[in-house]
Amino acid sequence: MSSVRERLLSTLASQLGNPHGVLGKGVALLLNRGNKTAIASAVDAAAVPSGGNVADIGFGGGAGLPLLLERVGADGVVHGVEISADMLARARSGHTRDIGSGRLRLAEGSLTALPLTDDSLDAAITVNTVYFVPDLAAACTELARVVRPGGRLVIGIGDPDAMAKLPFTSYGFTLRPVPDVIATLEHAGCTVEHQRLSTRPIPHHLLVATPR
């Protein structure tokens, strides 16, 4: 019985990091529902400018894409970067008009290999993604690379103590203390503001980083 439970938890953890297949469709809905408040708060914290060039990196179920599209308006561009081919396909089918107009540009990529040029973004968000990156320093350096000096990069993470109590996070998640993530962003050349969200069931932290 324990081996069955372990397989189920391992599968769930894998799906959360890279939603795919039939299960991935359900996971996408769960991600959108569970992360809704954290994503909306990250968009607010990013201070997305009208007409801006912005990104949702690791957008998963895609809840952040329409929020960013609304903020940038008709003259802005939203980039959606995602490691999951199935989530990219899902976003493409749901945003044909925005893709056709060039307002939404979707691409495959990871936190450590972004298909974006240096200093090209006014703002970027990434929520509940850094648990799946072994090399946090490389991810923070890459994120800081694509956001212009003075722009805003918002990393949203669940509270690590609360996350550690969930049964699936021992399968492939790397839960880092919040001060460690802040220090890594600072080492990547950012100043960082720490905001706390009382989201349920997992409180979240928003790390609002400004590349220097």
> pLDDT tens digits for 28-47?
677 778 789 999 999 999 99
* Mean pLDDT of the 154-176 span: 95
Is the pLDDT higher at 177 or at 2? 177
Q: What pLDDT sits at residue 13? A: 65
Average pLDDT over the chain reads 93
Q: What pLDDT sits at residue 107? A: 98
pLDDT band at 9 (very low <50, low <70, confident <90, very high): low
Range with the poorest average pLDDT among 34-38, 65-69, 141-145, 147-151: 34-38
Q: What pLDDT sits at residue 108? A: 98
Percent of the chain with pLDDT over 70: 96
**Exposure b/e, 164-174, CB count within 10 A at least 16 = b:** eebebbebbbe
Give the tens place of pLDDT for each residue, 50-100. Answer: 999 999 999 999 999 999 999 999 999 999 999 999 999 999 999 999 999
Q: What pLDDT sits at residue 2? A: 62
Place of tokens 């648990």: 131
* Mean pLDDT of the 157-177 span: 95
